[in-house]
Amino acid sequence: MKNKIKIERAILDITQEELAHKISVSRQTINSIEKNRYVPSTILALKLSNVFKKNVNDIFELDIND
């Protein structure tokens, strides 16, 4: 699964640490998601969509391997 968290973060001009704090996870978790090493749960995806004020489908998209 691919995601646009880094881009969305740049649009809001917030750091990984700030984003992590907003959705109550660690900075390393945000880093893992951004680097596609970890696929977040639906709850976390919805929390991210709330922060970025965008649909989950606009932030995450399926890969060929999925």
Partner 1 sequence: MSLAKLCQAEYRRLKKIQNYQYLLPNNYKRIGIVLLVIALLTLITRKYLFEDVDLIQQIAKKGMLVALLIITLSKEKIEDELIIKLRGQAFAIALIAGVVYTLIQPLINYLVALLIRPEKAIYADLDDFIILWFMMVMYLMFFYMFKRYR
Binding site for partner 1 (CB under 8 A): 20, 24-26, 28-29, 32, 37-38, 40-41, 43-44
Round to whole Å and give the CA distance between 2 and 35: 9
Q: How far is the CB of 27 from partner 1 (least distance, A)?
A: 9
Q: How far is the CB of 51 from partner 1 (least distance, A)?
A: 15
Minimum CB separation of residue 5 from partner 1 in Å reads 14
Contact 60, 1 (CB under 8 A): yes
Residues contacting 24, CB < 8 A, separation 6+:
none
Of 43 and 62, nearer to partner 1 (C-beta) is 43
Nearer to partner 1 (CB atom), residue 9 or residue 33 = 33
CA 15 to chain centre: 12
